[in-house]
């Protein structure tokens, strides 16, 4: 009896949790003339692919998707490279200024992203990075570097220094220790960092909205939001595009969860 | 350590003075190596994060002219006093605070509830956990649009389910309720995950001892489990309050801060001042006020929770 209540409660919660996803999916298969009809239907009366063919018929949609992929790939590679180098330095070396630099990193974890957007816009303008995908990548990396460094430093600190020293006695330089010892050991931590930096870049909205003007350089979030702004009632198409943007991410995340089995480092992943 | 290993060579093969010099040289070299590893990341970080932070402080003291090369007028604290006398700024503050008040306790209570349920022997625990976590990893843009659709006045699922006809997004308080509903829905999974990790750390022996002493499940939860969750509670509260005052994308997409600035939050107002009215100086002043507010709130909470101090 008590167990039945437990499962009933969990199932109810799950229903509320996935309800909005189901609405998005079902609306994406609903023809324009049936959208926003009462009562809402989970399974559309006349399911149709037309919204999806409309989405891919939009001149630039494949382009937006590609932009998002390119920016996310650049961001993940660069932030993992720079963040792991910094994390390694903070974990395994003592040097003057260590406390100051680490304090800066920790401070940045508390500063809300949108707060810096005004001066960053001017810096980007001076560096000729407005309307550029490179500008997206570099600012995403700078924004997330503190978090990724912090995450990976924690991991590297758990690797005994003696391991590295044994390699050094054999004549290996610091770069080789980092390349052939630290990075392979850190693979699980790097995986977690990669997932979260990918999600960050894939979903980022405010910065992309602010610096990207050229429609050909839009990423998915701004493309979808702007499309909804211009066609406020074309919900079927909006949600077809949303589904195309969201579902691959959810699938990757679920697979990742299965592979990892255990939890994510709960302390450090506020989206 | 390396140095000591070198020192175990047969006596006399190396004069100690040279060994010490070598050690010093190697310490210096280690410092250089560390800097080399830091340099690329730190340079980017300073150029694109720290420098803009400094720049924002400067801009907030000017009537900033955005045209390149144009002269900006220094007005000292005028942007700040303007904010403190600006009713829309205060409305934004109240709206952000109301959002935090509505979302933080709700997310914590629901997150804890789900965590406690999943901490028992439940079939398919990983599956449930992943499912409850899905909203957390879903794009803010997409879920904001979905909730905008759900809260539609004439044919939205929410009005239909409740059997009412409310113009949710066209009025201040109903809009804040709708925004908070989205915030809670998207955030519960995150609190759940933190609490679940903390619950797994509660020593079984404590619970068993309480049971032997005759404490029922409710008392065990209140008097044994809950006190053990203090650090997790503190962490979740601080992070959620920061997150609450950071609410932006959902406001921007669901109401745009309107109608007539009624639903403006601190960050949406900041963004509108800067990029709709192009008042960068004023926007920067608001940015600094928000940053100070968030830092202050976090410090107060950490004091209240005695965060960082050990139990017992």
Q: Check which CATH number belongs to the domain holding B217 and give it.
A: 1.10.3720.10
With 60 as the cut, is the pLDDT of residue B303 above it? Answer: yes
B191 in Cβ contact with B108 (< 8 Å): yes
Residues B24 and B88 in one domain: no
Nearest one of A245, A31, A26, A13 to B157, comparing CA atoms:
A26
CB contact under 8 A, A40 and B160: yes
What percentage of chain A has pLDDT greater than the value 70? 95
Evaluate whether residue B74 is within a structural domain: no
**Cα–Cα distance, A28 to A237 (Å, whole number):** 6
Residues B8 and B145 in one domain: no
Residue B16 has a pLDDT of 60
Domain boundary at B59, B75, B106, which? Answer: B59
Residue A267 has a pLDDT of 39
- For B215, half-sphere exposure in the C-beta direction (CA atoms, 13 angstrom radius) is 16
Residues B156 and B204 in one domain: yes
Which residue segments constitute the domains of chain A, with CATH numbers given?
29-268 (1.10.3720.10)
With 70 as the cut, is the pLDDT of residue A260 above it? Answer: no
Q: pLDDT digits over B118-132, tens only?
A: 998 888 888 899 999
- The distance of A259 to chain B (nearest Cα, Å) reads 11
With 50 as the cut, is the pLDDT of residue B311 above it? Answer: no
Evaluate whether residue B264 is within a structural domain: yes
Phi, psi for residue B63 in degrees, rounded to 5: -85, 90
CB contact under 8 A, B1 and A88: no
Residues B297 and B172 in one domain: yes
CB contact under 8 A, B141 and A146: no
pTM: 0.88
CB contact under 8 A, B239 and A270: yes
Evaluate whether residue B87 is within a structural domain: yes
Of A110-119, A126-135, A171-180, B227-236, least confident by mean pLDDT is A110-119
A37 in Cβ contact with B202 (< 8 Å): no
**Cα–Cα distance, B7 to B26 (Å, whole number):** 14
Answer with the residue of higher pLDDT: B63 or B41. B41
Residues B160 and B13 in one domain: no
Residues B52 and B143 in one domain: no
Total residues belonging to chain A:
271
Task: Give the total number of structural domains in chain B.
Answer: 2
The pLDDT confidence band at residue B63, using thresholds 50, 70 and 90, is: confident
Helix, strand and coil content of chain B, in percent to the nearest 5, comes to 75, 0, 25
Query: Exposure of A181 by Cβ count < 10 A (0-12 exposed, 13-18 middle, 19+ buried)?
Result: middle
Of the residues A41, A79, A112, A197, the best mutation for testing chain B's interface (the one with the most B CB atoms within 10 Å of its CB) is A112
Task: Name the β-bridge partners of A74.
Answer: none
- For B233, half-sphere exposure in the C-beta direction (CA atoms, 13 angstrom radius) is 13
B240 in Cβ contact with B253 (< 8 Å): no
By three-state DSSP, how is residue A171 classified?
A: coil
Token pair in block for residue B126: 């990983």
Domain that residue B21 falls in: 2-59
Average confidence (pLDDT) over A23-31: 90
Nearest by CB to residue B249, choosing from A98, A120, A206, is A206
Q: Residue A259's closest chain B neighbor by CA? A: B126
Q: Residue B286's closest chain A neighbor by CA? A: A115
Evaluate whether residue B65 is within a structural domain: no
ipTM of the complex model: 0.89
CB contact under 8 A, B145 and A228: yes
Tokens 């070396």 found at: A93
**Cα–Cα distance, B235 to B108 (Å, whole number):** 11
> Could you tell me if A160 lies within 8 Å of chain B, comparing CB atoms?
no
């Amino acid at each position: 009896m008590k167990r039945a209540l437990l499962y009933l409660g969990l199932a109810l919660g799950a229903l509320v949790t996935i309800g909005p996803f189901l609405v998005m999916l079902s609306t994406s298969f609903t023809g324009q003339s049936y959208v926003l009809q009462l009562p809402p239907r989970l399974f559309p009366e006349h399911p149709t692919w037309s919204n999806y063919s409309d989405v891919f018929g939009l001149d630039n949609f494949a382009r937006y998707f590609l932009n998002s992929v390119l920016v996310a790939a650049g961001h993940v590679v660069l932030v993992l490279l720079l963040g792991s180098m910094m994390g390694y330095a903070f974990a395994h070396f003592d040097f003057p200024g260590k406390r100051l630099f680490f304090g800066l990193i920790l401070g940045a974890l508390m500063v809300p992203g949108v707060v810096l957007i005004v001066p960053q816009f001017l810096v980007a303008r001076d560096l000729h990075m407005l309307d550029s995908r490179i500008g997206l990548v570099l600012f995403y990396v700078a924004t997330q570097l503190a978090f990724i460094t912090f995450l990976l430093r924690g991991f590297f600190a758990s690797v005994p220094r003696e391991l590295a020293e044994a390699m050094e006695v054999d004549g290996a330089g610091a770069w080789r220790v980092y390349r052939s010892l630290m990075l392979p050991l850190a693979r699980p931590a790097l995986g977690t960092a990669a997932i979260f930096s990918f999600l960050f870049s894939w979903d980022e909205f405010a910065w992309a909205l602010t610096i990207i003007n050229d429609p050909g350089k839009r990423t998915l979030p701004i493309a979808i939001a702007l499309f909804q702004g211009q066609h406020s009632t074309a919900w079927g198409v909006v949600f077809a595009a949303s589904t195309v943007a969201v579902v691959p991410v959810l699938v990757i995340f679920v697979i990742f969860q299965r592979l990892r089995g255990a939890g994510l480092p709960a302390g450090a992943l506020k989206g | 350590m390396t140095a000591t290993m070198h020192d175990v060579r047969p006596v006399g093969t190396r004069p100690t003075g040279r060994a010490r010099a070598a050690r010093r040289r190697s310490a210096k070299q280690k410092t250089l190596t560390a800097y080399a590893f830091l340099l690329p990341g730190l340079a980017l970080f300073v150029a694109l994060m720290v420098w803009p932070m400094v720049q924002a402080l400067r801009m907030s003291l000017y009537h900033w002219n955005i045209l390149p090369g144009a002269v900006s007028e220094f007005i000292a604290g005028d942007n700040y006093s303007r904010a403190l006398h600006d009713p829309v700024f205060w409305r934004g503050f109240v709206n952000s605070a109301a959002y935090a008040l509505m979302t933080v306790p709700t997310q914590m209570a629901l997150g804890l509830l789900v965590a406690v349920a999943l901490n028992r022997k439940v079939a398919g625990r990983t599956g449930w956990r992943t499912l409850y976590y899905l909203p957390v990893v879903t794009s803010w843009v997409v879920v904001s649009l979905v909730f905008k659709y759900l809260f539609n006045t004439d044919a939205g699922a929410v009005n239909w389910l409740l059997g009412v006809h409310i113009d949710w997004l066209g009025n201040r308080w109903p809009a804040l309720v709708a925004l908070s509903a989205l915030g809670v829905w998207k955030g519960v999974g995150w609190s759940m995950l933190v609490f679940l990790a903390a619950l797994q750390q509660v020593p079984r022996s404590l619970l068993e001892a309480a049971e032997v002493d005759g404490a029922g499940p409710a008392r065990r939860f209140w008097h044994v489990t809950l006190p053990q969750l203090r650090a997790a509670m503190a962490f979740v509260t601080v992070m959620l309050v920061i997150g609450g005052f950071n609410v932006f994308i959902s406001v921007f997409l669901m109401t745009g801060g309107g109608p007539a600035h009624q639903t403006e939050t601190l960050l949406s107002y900041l963004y509108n001042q800067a990029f709709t009215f192009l008042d960068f100086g004023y926007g920067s002043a608001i940015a600094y006020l928000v940053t100070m507010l968030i830092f202050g709130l976090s410090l107060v909470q950490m004091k209240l929770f005695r965060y960082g101090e050990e139990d017992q």
